[in-house]
Structure formats: C-alpha cells, structure tokens
Amino acid sequence: MVNNISHVAKIISTSKRVAFLTGAGISVGAGIPDFRSPGGMYKSLKPELLTATENQRNMMRLDPTSVVSTDIFYENQLCYLELRRPFILGLAEKKWKATLSHFFVRLCYDKGILQRLYTQNIDGLDYQTGIPDEKIVPVHGSLGIIKCEFCKSTSMTYDEFREEVKKNIKDIYNTEKDAPENSTPIPCRDCKKNGLKPATVLYGSQLPERFFESVQEDFPQNIDLMVVIGTSLTVGPANKLVQWVNASSPRIVVNDEKVGEFLGLYEDKARDYFVQGTCDHIFLELIQKLGWSEDLKKYQDLMAPQSVELIQKLDQNK
C-alpha cells in the first residue's frame, strides 16, 4: 500500500535493527545511470558498438544483461571492459559522490539502528559515507578491486589497471578523443589469460561468501525493519531478503514505481509500505520528519552536487 511519509518516519524512529537493500536508483542522484529503466544502461545498450562476434551481439540483443555474463566474458573480455570503461576511469577520478540517500543510511548508523546495508551496486559510493566496512555487504562485488576472473589473482592494482584500460579499451560512448580506436585484451600477469576485471559478480557466477554469512547472521532474528531503495527486485538471491526478514517486521519500499509484488510484498497492508518518488526527495522529507536535518548537514560537503542543491532549496523555502 502507498503510505504517507509521517507514518513511515514513525516506523523508522521506533526500529532498532534496520537492514537496507539498495539498487541503482539510490545512485541516480550522483549522475550514475541505472540499468533497467528507460534510458538505462541495459535499455540503451548498442551491441553493434562492442567488440564481439555476431553471435555474442545477438545474445545481447535478446538479453542485454548477457553483456556482463560468464557466457560472454569467458570467451571475450572486451565487451565487459568497453561497457564499464567510463566507470573504471571515473571511479578513480572520484567523478561521482554519494547522494543524500546514501547518507540517510549513514545517519541510521550514527543513530545506532543500522544492522546491515546490502548493496547491489558496484559503484562503491556507500563506502564514501564512512559507514564501517563490516556493516556493508557488496552483494554484486565492487569496481574498486581488480581480480582475475580465472585464477583470482589480485596482482594488478586499481591504478595500474585503470591505465591499461585507458590505453587498451576503446570508448563506445564517444566522449574521450584520446581513446584507442580498437580494443586489445589486458592479460593477467599470473595466469596470462584475459580475465582481469573489477571484482564484480558476473551473471552466472556465485555471490561472495560474505553475502551468505551476513544473511545467516542477520535474518530473520536480527532485523526488525527492512528498507528497500531504488531496486527492481528482479535479481536473486538478493531480492529474497524481503522474504527472509522476520514475518512481523515491516518492509518499506522507496522507488519510482511499485516493485516486488511477485515476492509477496503488499499482501499484508499492515506490514508493507510503498513510498513512490525519487530517492533523494523521499529521504530528504523523511529526514525532516525524523528531525535529523542538522545531522545531515554535517555531511553536506561530501555529497553529490544534486543532493546539496536539494538541501539548499529546502533551507531557502523555510
């Protein structure tokens, strides 16, 4: 059911062990496009621009997520690196900053109510908030660590890999004039195979052990509120968190469209809450209702410009 902000704020204020599940929508305010929405990375994918066989391009046309799958990567490293090139380079340059919504999770940590943040994002923005690493579970890995998909070697540093990508991988987005015209593989220094990439989880791969260890520790007994932010809830097993939480624990979904019905969300109108809108706008309003506005402002210098503008507009309208 759709609920007002005041009611949702009251639920948060009375919770003691909150788990978050976040998706690409929480980072849109940082300028990072999401994946499945119209105009998102998968919807706008152009296989013909990628270095691939025609068979691989057809796979991507049928299912755009195959561009980051084991089926294609094990045959051809270049598609993945061409797709991720701007993120690999941009992350090192700190092109993106955490949003107001990311810092809402930080405020929950400051208030002593954050049990765990399960993030499906690979952008690493959660770590910019200063939340301790043990509280963050990167469900699908991270762009910030370089690992060989085949031998699991971490022999190349992120900075070294970034330079190799800049030199060897073409720019399919046509934003960098000095990029090479054609892509060439980046072999692992240890096994010599073309398996080097950021330590993100490919479709068809096992999730990190840490995910399962944290789930066993947290669910169902140590969570009394589940908050879902900016995710389509279509990718498992992370989407199952909404089912694993204690049957008496409320579940709040913040998203621009209603998601998760097929997982049993909203069947219990006294338990499940859907708040529709842009993540940053919703969480700014929640922060006001909770009386956390001054707490938020101390992190303002660390936030994405769009988030800072929202806060400033709020102050001007007072």
Q: What is the CATH number of the domain that holds 78?
A: 3.30.1600
Last residue of a domain, one of 200, 215, 234: 200
Its domain, for residue 260, covers 5-31+97-140+207-316
Q: How far is CA 39 from the centre of its chain?
A: 17
pLDDT at 94: 76
Burial, 262: exposed, middle or buried (Cβ in 10 Å; 0-12, 13-18, 19+)?
A: exposed
Read off the CATH number of the domain in which 307 is found. Answer: 3.40.50.1220
- Domain assignment of residue 40, yes or no: no
- Same domain assignment for residues 192 and 297: no
175, 108: one domain: no
Decide if 76 is inside a domain: yes
Tell whether 226 and 246 lie within a shared domain. yes
| Residue 204 one-letter amino acid | G
Q: Are residues 146 and 135 in the same domain?
A: no
CA neighbor of 187 nearest in space, from 164, 215, 158: 164
Is 307 inside a domain boundary?
yes
State whether 234 and 293 are in the same domain.
Answer: yes
The reply to whether 118 and 260 lie within a common domain is: yes
- Pair (246, 155) in one structural domain: no
Q: Say which residue the tokens 């992190």 belong to.
A: 299
246 lies in a domain?
yes
Q: 268 near 260, Cβ under 8 Å?
A: no
**Is 124 contained in some domain?**
yes
Could you tell me if 216 and 283 lie in one domain?
yes
User: How far is it, in rounded angstroms, from Cα 279 to Cα 275?
Assistant: 9
Separation of alpha carbons 121 and 89, rounded Å:
17
Pair 226, 279 in one domain:
yes
Domain ends where: 200, 230, 247? Answer: 200
Residue 21 sits in the same domain as residue 58: no
154 and 243 housed in the same domain: no
Name the DSSP letter for residue 51. S
Phi and psi angles of residue 92, each rounded to the nearest 5 degrees, phi first: -65, -30
Decide if 116 is inside a domain: yes
Side-chain half-sphere CA neighbours of 89 within 13 A: 17
Last residue of a domain, one of 153, 171, 200: 200
- For the entire predicted model, the pTM comes to 0.85
Residue 223 is encoded by which pair of tokens? 């969570």
> 129, 130, 132, 128: which is closest to 116 by C-alpha?
132
Angle at 30 between CA 171 and CA 285, to 5 degrees: 160
Q: Residues 15, 121: one domain?
A: yes
Residue 220 lies in a domain: yes
Number of domains in the chain: 2
Phi and psi of 22, rounded to 5°?
Answer: -115, 150
Mean pLDDT by 10 residues, the chain (318 residues): 80 96 92 58 78 95 90 95 88 84 98 97 90 94 88 90 95 88 95 94 89 95 95 91 94 94 90 94 95 94 92 74
Instruction: Report pLDDT for 91.
Output: 77
Report yes or no on 132 lying in a domain: yes
pLDDT of residue 38: 44
